[in-house]
Amino acid sequence: MQHHQTPHDYLAHSNYDKIETPGAFTRFLWTCAGADKRILVNCTYADHVKYFCLGGIVLATGILAALAGGYAFYTIFQPKGDAIDKDQIDVFTCVLSVIFGLFWGLIIFNLDRFIISSTGKGDGTDAITPTEFWNALPRLLMGSVIALTISKPVEIRMFKTEIDAKLYEKQLELQKEYEKRTTANFEERLKVVEGDLGKIVAERQKIVDRIKVAEQAYTDNLMGKANGVGAGNGPLSKALKGQLDAINDELNRFDNLNAAKLNEAEKKRKAILTEKEKALMQNVNVANGLDGLLERLKLAHEIAGFWISLFITLLFMAIELAPIFFKLMMIKSPYDYLDENHKALIIARHGVQKKGHLIGGSDLKDSSGKPINRATELEYDVYLLADKMLEEKIRLLESELKIKQHIIDKHIISKKSDIDAHPEKYIQTEDSSNAQQA
């Protein structure tokens, strides 16, 4: 007689139901996916892989967030300068960026872990119904914001070379524009000072020109070059010499009178020129300050274009939102049944009972007061342990009240007996009352 192998015999003689102990990294990724590893270890291999992949996506998203946050922090707080010549790395800012990046990565990691673990499993089928999508919409919006914050710093780093070149051009243009404005501003101030200097210099030059004419006339007279006059130091030469000396004296008096004005005007001119040089040097620093995160984001959009920038953002959104959609498309697996059973056991162990009450159509009425011809189930919870404790507490209080009442009744009976036996102790005469008052 031939023996037919049953499914039970197959499982009994195979290693399929043998549970292999997962590695530490696998259990860590299960934790990242928000799964209960104590339940998951008893499930099928498909469940192991499913939550292993979900945890891997959550961990990868946290690592990307840490890198993006650290780079964004360094870009914001790094020393500003030439966009091209940046060979040195600021160690202090780099250390702060690493700390901030780790902190930011942990925040995003925990947010993703919470979003994934709170998404649930939908209706247990691989189809995403409108109701499931609507319920998951807040998580999808939150995941989209997270993906956006991760994608932009990565986008800046991807196009860093092109952004630096474009930013350097903008820095040069801005520096030239500032130089024009600075030069125009100081030229107005120099015109006023140089105008005062020009008047004094023009008046002095007139005296100098007169001296030159007088010197030439005196020299010509001494050498006999003048018409009708012989050479030698005659009366005319002496007269010309006296005229020359008088003009020189006039120049000396002019210099003495205007020396203070000339010195003050020259000091103002030099001070304005010095201030101009400082302002021009400051313009370089101002132009180098055009090196922040906002400007690099603008240039990244200009260089990459709308479609490339959108593609990068959608790529990170797909990475961020994929676990949510995957959980909505998951078919109900052994892990889900064991998880529900575990929750039911905990609820039952703590004395919580879920009940439902079917309300008939005659009990329901519409706004006009007419009965609604359909039935609905009203669910509610019964807390058995709490009700039991409350009932015991009520009985204890009632028994204490009964005991106290019994004590009072016995005390009354005792007092009555004592009064009947010794009424004189409770009767106060007028003499005894006056004696007590005295």
List the alpha helices (DSSP H) in 159-234.
160-223
CA distance 411 to 136: 70
Whether 146 and 181 share a structural domain? no
The yes-or-no verdict on residue 247 having pLDDT over 80 is no
The yes-or-no verdict on residue 94 having pLDDT over 50 is yes
Contact 322, 146 (CB under 8 A): no
Whether 197 and 245 share a structural domain? yes
Which residues pair with residue 382 across a beta bridge?
Answer: 353
Q: 432 in a domain, yes or no? A: no
Domain range spanning residue 374?
350-419
pLDDT, position 226: 58
Whether 261 and 387 share a structural domain? no
CA distance 17 to 11: 7
Q: Name the domain count of the chain.
A: 3
The yes-or-no verdict on residue 188 having pLDDT over 80 is no
Whether 41 and 136 share a structural domain? yes
CA distance 203 to 353: 112
The yes-or-no verdict on residue 157 having pLDDT over 70 is yes
pLDDT confidence band for 1 (50 / 70 / 90) = very low
Whether 368 and 258 share a structural domain? no
pLDDT, position 256: 79
pLDDT, position 2: 46
- Digit-coded pLDDT (tens) for 13-57: 445 555 667 888 999 998 888 888 888 888 888 888 888 988 898
Query: What number of other Cβ atoms are within 10 A of residue 305's Cβ?
Result: 11
CA distances from 416 to 90, 407, 409, 427 (A): 98, 14, 11, 14
Contact 258, 150 (CB under 8 A): no
Two tokens at 17?
């139901």
pLDDT, position 403: 92
- Digit-coded pLDDT (tens) for 301-351: 787 778 888 888 888 888 888 888 877 777 778 888 888 888 888 888 877
> φ, ψ for residue 313 (rounded to 5)?
-65, -45
Max avg pLDDT among 74-88, 115-129, 222-236, 349-363: 115-129
Q: 8 in a domain, yes or no? A: no
Tell me if residue 381 falls in helix, strand or coil: strand
Q: What are the DSSP calls for 314-360, one per residue? A: HHHHHHHHHHHHHHHHPPP-HHHHHHHHHHHHHHHHTTEEEEEEEEP
pLDDT confidence band for 139 (50 / 70 / 90) = confident
CA angle 28, 32, 38 (to 5 degrees): 60
pLDDT confidence band for 106 (50 / 70 / 90) = very high
